Protein backbone atom coordinates (compact mmCIF):
# COMPACT_ATOMS: atom_id res chain seq x y z
CA UNK A 1 0.00 0.00 0.00
CA UNK A 2 1.30 3.45 -0.87
CA UNK A 3 1.68 5.88 2.04
CA UNK A 4 -0.99 8.57 2.35
CA UNK A 5 -0.39 11.47 -0.04
CA UNK A 6 -3.26 13.35 -1.64
CA UNK A 7 -3.26 12.84 -5.42
CA UNK A 8 -5.31 16.01 -5.90
CA UNK A 9 -2.78 18.22 -4.07
CA UNK A 10 -0.20 17.60 -6.78
CA UNK A 11 3.46 16.62 -6.62
CA UNK A 12 4.74 20.06 -5.60
CA UNK A 13 2.41 20.36 -2.60
CA UNK A 14 3.79 19.81 0.86
CA UNK A 15 1.66 18.90 3.83
CA UNK A 16 2.67 18.89 7.48
CA UNK A 17 2.21 15.53 9.13
CA UNK A 18 1.29 12.45 7.17
CA UNK A 19 -0.96 11.00 9.85
CA UNK A 20 -3.37 8.53 8.32
CA UNK A 21 -6.23 10.32 10.09
CA UNK A 22 -5.75 13.26 7.69
CA UNK A 23 -6.28 11.15 4.56
CA UNK A 24 -8.96 8.85 3.17
CA UNK A 25 -8.41 6.06 0.67
CA UNK A 26 -11.12 6.12 -2.01
CA UNK A 27 -11.74 3.04 -4.18
CA UNK A 28 -12.87 3.70 -7.73
CA UNK A 29 -14.06 1.11 -10.28
CA UNK A 30 -11.28 -1.46 -10.73
CA UNK A 31 -9.85 -2.07 -14.19
CA UNK A 32 -7.43 -4.90 -13.33
CA UNK A 33 -8.21 -8.29 -11.79
CA UNK A 34 -5.50 -9.15 -9.28
CA UNK A 35 -4.89 -12.69 -8.02
CA UNK A 36 -5.99 -13.42 -4.46
CA UNK A 37 -2.37 -13.52 -3.23
CA UNK A 38 -1.47 -10.18 -4.85
CA UNK A 39 0.10 -7.56 -2.57
CA UNK A 40 0.55 -3.87 -3.25
CA UNK A 41 -1.39 -0.68 -3.79
CA UNK A 42 -4.59 -1.30 -5.81
CA UNK A 43 -4.65 0.57 -9.12
CA UNK A 44 -8.14 1.86 -8.33
CA UNK A 45 -7.35 3.24 -4.84
CA UNK A 46 -6.48 6.93 -4.46
CA UNK A 47 -5.58 8.89 -1.33
CA UNK A 48 -7.30 12.24 -0.67
CA UNK A 49 -6.69 14.84 2.02
CA UNK A 50 -9.74 16.10 3.90
CA UNK A 51 -9.82 19.27 1.76
CA UNK A 52 -10.01 17.36 -1.53
CA UNK A 53 -12.08 14.36 -0.40
CA UNK A 54 -15.41 15.99 -1.37
CA UNK A 55 -14.20 16.19 -5.00
CA UNK A 56 -14.30 12.37 -5.18
CA UNK A 57 -17.92 12.17 -4.06
CA UNK A 58 -20.13 10.52 -6.66
CA UNK A 59 -17.22 9.44 -8.87
CA UNK A 60 -16.51 5.95 -7.49
CA UNK A 61 -18.30 4.32 -10.44
CA UNK A 62 -15.57 5.68 -12.72
CA UNK A 63 -12.05 4.32 -13.06
CA UNK A 64 -9.41 6.13 -11.02
CA UNK A 65 -8.00 7.64 -14.22
CA UNK A 66 -11.41 8.94 -15.31
CA UNK A 67 -12.20 10.27 -11.84
CA UNK A 68 -8.84 12.02 -11.47
CA UNK A 69 -9.38 13.65 -14.88
CA UNK A 70 -12.68 15.11 -13.69
CA UNK A 71 -11.21 16.12 -10.33
CA UNK A 72 -8.21 17.79 -11.98
CA UNK A 73 -10.53 19.78 -14.23
CA UNK A 74 -12.26 21.22 -11.13
CA UNK A 75 -9.03 22.25 -9.39
CA UNK A 76 -7.72 25.83 -9.73
Could you tell me the residue ranges of all domains in the chain? 1-33+41-76
Q: Which residues, 6+ apart, have CB-to-CB distance to 46 below 8 Å?
A: 7, 25, 26, 28, 56, 64, 67, 68
User: What is the structure's pLDDT at 12?
Assistant: 55
pTM: 0.78
Tell me the mean pLDDT in the region 5-10: 87
Alpha helices in 1-76 (DSSP H): 64-74
User: What is the structure's pLDDT at 49?
Assistant: 93
If pLDDT is split at 50, 70 and 90, which confidence band does 18 have? very low
pLDDT at 34 over 80: no
Amino acid sequence: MMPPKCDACGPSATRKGNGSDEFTLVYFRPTVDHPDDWAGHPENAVWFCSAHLPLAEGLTGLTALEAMGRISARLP
